[in-house]
Structure 1
Amino acid sequence: MANKEKLPWDLEEEILSRVPPTSLVRFKTVCKRWNSLFDNNAFINNHKMTFQFILTTRSKIYSVSVNPKVEVRELTLNTPGLKPQIPISLVDTSGFLLCGMGEGAVVWNPWLRQTRCIKPEVNQPSLDFIGIGYDNNKRVEEIVYKTLSVYMKGSSHTWKIHDFASDAWKDQEFNKEEYSRSITLGIKNRFIVDLTSVVSVNGTLYWVAYNDDKTHDTDLFSFYVLSFNFSSEEFLKFCDLPSGKNHARDALVLSVFRKDRFSLLKQCHETKKIKIWVTKNKIDNQYGGDVKWMSFMEVSIPNMSNLVQTTFYYQPSYFIDDKRLVICSCDETGRAWIYVVGENKLINKVHLDSVADPWPLHFTYFPNLVLIPGGQREEAELQVQFSYDLFLFWFSSTIFSLIFFRFWFNL
């Protein structure tokens, strides 16, 4: 029997980019080539259902995609056993969304429509959920995800760690003097850190922080990266930032670059000039003193808006796409905007007019095909969807093959 002609790989990729993510998880077992493809950032970014930002308002949750054009869709957080509701807080760490629900939390992968509830202990006070990480001890073969949260206990704060595998809670107390939207940490030194801007790399959590020195007579502070390691269960100063001293009103945002590095955005609140740095090497969870920063981009755009507004002091969200900088931020009236910057100029500016409420919380999201350990999905629906997607892939492959070979033989 003659060998059957195979579908060209680029057409195969194009078809798979149209298959819903819930079925791509199952398709990973079809062959090694598909499995490698689904772990490729370029494939995820080019998928027809991908998105790069998530915004939450008092009444709705939205996803925002920017490739090839800006598109806003509504998201629904459906958790078995819980009525649909808007989270009180929402952070993106370790590829999952951690949704604070007042009592307990929900871990959510919106791309796979998968959730897991984290229930508080009996008589547990309301928790502020901070982020998700895992023990990065190389002797541990299996990743065990954990959450970090905090609550008031008298005049101090108690940090709580929840283990996904055992569903157990562990307390860790620090002496504190102050807690608001920013929190004070430490015993000998006092650190101020915005817990809403957390970054996760290889299971460790990172924030931009600065020393709260009462002797300061100016508004300039030396910022650095503070880390929480789930292996040692301690907070440490990880590394200095390349931006020098910064004003409290400057935009200063740490983000993930190429999965395993840092990027840092700074916008001076006076000049509006934007500068981006990236780390030269991969981030090592233990040796932050070896971090080397490189200048990546400088942008000076006339009439550029302040990315941090005085009303709420929300920091902007951003990501780097090749040589483009894509930013989500609110203007002075609370309206959300997407800015696309490149080659020292503003390429595009889009108002997200379908986001109804002003001053939405927003952050960068990186879609992934990682299943939440112990997570729940609507299995019956997914089985039907999987069968439909398999049929769709076969049908599309046949049509593309007929078109391709007809075109080829007509040459």
Structure 2
Amino acid sequence: MAHEETLPWELIEEILSRVPPESLLRFKTVSKQWNALFDDKTFINNHKTTFRFILATKSKIYSVSIDPKIAVCELTLDIPGLESQILKSLVDGNELLLCDMEKGAVVWNPWLRHSRWIDQDSNHTKRESYGLGYNNKGSYKIFAACDRKENPNQRLLTIRDFASDAWKDRESGDNSQQVKPVKLHRKTGVSLNGNLYLVTYYEKTDLVYHLTKINSSSESIVIFCDLPCGTTNFDKDALVLRVFEGDRFSLLKQCHATKKIELWVSKYKINNNLDREDVEWIKFMELSSPNLPDLVDGSNSQPSYFIGDKRLVVCSCDETGRVWIYVLGGNKLISKTQIDSVVDLWPSHCTFIPSLVPVPLAQREEPAELQV
């Protein structure tokens, strides 16, 4: 039998890093080795088309790549009829993105160019999405706040379960262990292990802020843990929660008065089975250089950020509404770059973690067959 020649694995990785992500999704079935490679965050981060931030104006959406240099590309949602609708907000769902529109929402994987339209319930008004989660059966859910048309002063939690493909309203107090209602520091949360976590407080003068957990399986709402940062200047300080290394939390805080930045991470991975956990936080980075930027812009919009290669990379708007990318590390500002190609001021922005997670279908939808 003739000797079968194979390419070195390093060369195979380099070739696959140039393959469009849509094709990688199909190639997962080639071998166990390829499937493991595509699940490797290092491979995804080093892919030639990887981007780390999404920017959205009233008319356009952009991706922002960081390495090896900052590059901006225009994106499209590829859903007919959305041209006339204004995008209200971007919500990072960890591996998927949620785009709130005027009359509904879009669940989107911009890296795979997969998207799905979600109709708004006709009985709802003023809907604002908190984020995405999924239950122990793998069914995705959208968690949002809304008002009922018949009672516009009643703010409630509504849930869109992809399995039933319908909205379900949850009255305040239903299946909740909260003794005293909490208030949201930010309207959007962070998805980890399928559950949704939001930064909350009881009063602005409280000494401790908390993480409140919405369990995607039971739909219960509980205080999960305390945050390490203490009180904040509510309107001026930056306070942003993110997922760190796939199974932990990170928390960025910047004091508006001093510009000092503190970056905390949870020491151990988060236990998905607990509704209350004594999370141990460690200070990952502290920056107090006098030339640090103010990360909360004039509209009190919070920054977006990720941690990579011992660097803190931040996207935020300045006081004029222009977008900047800041790279920080070693107690100093390493670089700052203005995104000139985004002409409109004060765009929405969020961090995006590229993934090969396809947008979940409704129960009645069938996946398209591949033509061989």
TM-score using structure 1 length: 0.82
CA contact (8 A) 2:94 2:353 kept: no
CA contact (8 A) 1:133 1:203 kept: yes
- Classify 1:121/1:106 alpha carbon distance in 2 versus 1 (closer, same or farther; 3 Å): same
CA contact (8 A) 1:317 1:328 kept: yes
Give the deviation of 1:207 after TM superposition. 1.4
Say yes or no: does 1:265 pair with 2:255. Answer: no
Matches within 5 A, 1:26-105: 26-80=26-80, 82-83=82-83, 85-105=85-105
CA contact (8 A) 2:21 2:112 kept: yes
State how far apart, in whole Å, the 2-side matches of 1:342 and 1:145 are. 36
CA contact (8 A) 2:312 2:327 kept: yes
Question: What does residue 399 of structure 1 align with?
Answer: none
Question: What does residue 335 of structure 1 align with?
Answer: 322
The one of 215, 219, 239 aligned to 1:233: 219
In structure 2, give the amino acid aligned to 1:88.
K
Q: Deviations over 1:293-336 (max 9, x none)?
A: 01111112222121112x21111111100211111111111111
Say yes or no: does 1:113 pair with 2:113. Answer: yes
- Classify 1:257/1:206 alpha carbon distance in 2 versus 1 (closer, same or farther; 3 Å): same
Question: What does residue 188 of structure 2 align with?
Answer: 197
State how far apart, in whole Å, the 1-side matches of 2:345 and 2:122 are. 36
Which range moved further: 83-92 or 349-358?
83-92
Q: Deviations over 1:3-48 (max 9, x none)?
A: 1221111111010000000000000011111100000000000111
CA contact (8 A) 1:103 1:127 kept: no
Which range moved further: 99-108 or 260-269?
99-108
Query: What SS is found at the alignment partner of 1:174?
Result: coil
Give the deviation of 1:377 after TM superposition. 11
Question: What does residue 164 of structure 2 align with?
Answer: 166
Matches within 5 A, 1:204-283: 204-212=195-203, 216=205, 221-248=207-234, 249-283=236-270
Aligned length: 363
Question: What does residue 10 of structure 2 align with?
Answer: 10
Question: What does residue 337 of structure 2 align with?
Answer: 350
In structure 2, give the amino acid aligned to 1:222.
V
In structure 2, give the amino acid aligned to 1:339.
Y
State how far apart, in whole Å, the 2-side matches of 1:81 and 1:57 are. 18
The answer for unaligned runs of 5 or more in structure 1 is: 137-141, 176-184, 388-411
Give the deviation of 1:135 after TM superposition. 1.6
Question: What does residue 289 of structure 1 align with?
Answer: 277
State how far apart, in whole Å, the 1-side matches of 2:84 and 2:75 are. 11
State how far apart, in whole Å, the 1-side matches of 2:84 and 2:355 are. 23
In structure 2, give the amino acid aligned to 1:150.
A
Question: What does residue 392 of structure 1 align with?
Answer: none
CA contact (8 A) 2:322 2:346 kept: yes
Q: Deviations over 1:198-255 (max 9, x none)?
A: 1100111111111126xx5xxx753121121122212211111111222212111110
Give the deviation of 1:379 after TM superposition. 6.4
Give the deviation of 1:156 after TM superposition. 1.8
Question: What does residue 139 of structure 1 align with?
Answer: none
TM-score using structure 2 length: 0.91
CA contact (8 A) 1:279 1:291 kept: yes
What is the CA RMSD across the aligned residues, in angstroms? 2.4
State how far apart, in whole Å, the 2-side matches of 1:151 and 1:302 are. 42
In structure 2, give the amino acid aligned to 1:315.
Q
Say yes or no: does 1:326 pair with 2:275. Answer: no
The answer for unaligned runs of 5 or more in structure 2 is: none
CA contact (8 A) 1:91 1:99 kept: yes
Give 1 or 2: higher helix fraction.
1
Query: What SS is found at the alignment partner of 2:15?
Result: helix
State how far apart, in whole Å, the 2-side matches of 1:378 and 1:133 are. 21
State how far apart, in whole Å, the 2-side matches of 1:86 and 1:63 are. 18
- Classify 1:124/1:329 alpha carbon distance in 2 versus 1 (closer, same or farther; 3 Å): closer
- Classify 1:358/1:80 alpha carbon distance in 2 versus 1 (closer, same or farther; 3 Å): closer
Say yes or no: does 1:374 pair with 2:365. Answer: no
In structure 2, give the amino acid aligned to 1:211.
Y
Query: What SS is found at the alignment partner of 2:250?
Result: strand
State how far apart, in whole Å, the 1-side matches of 2:84 and 2:113 are. 13
Give the deviation of 1:98 after TM superposition. 1.2
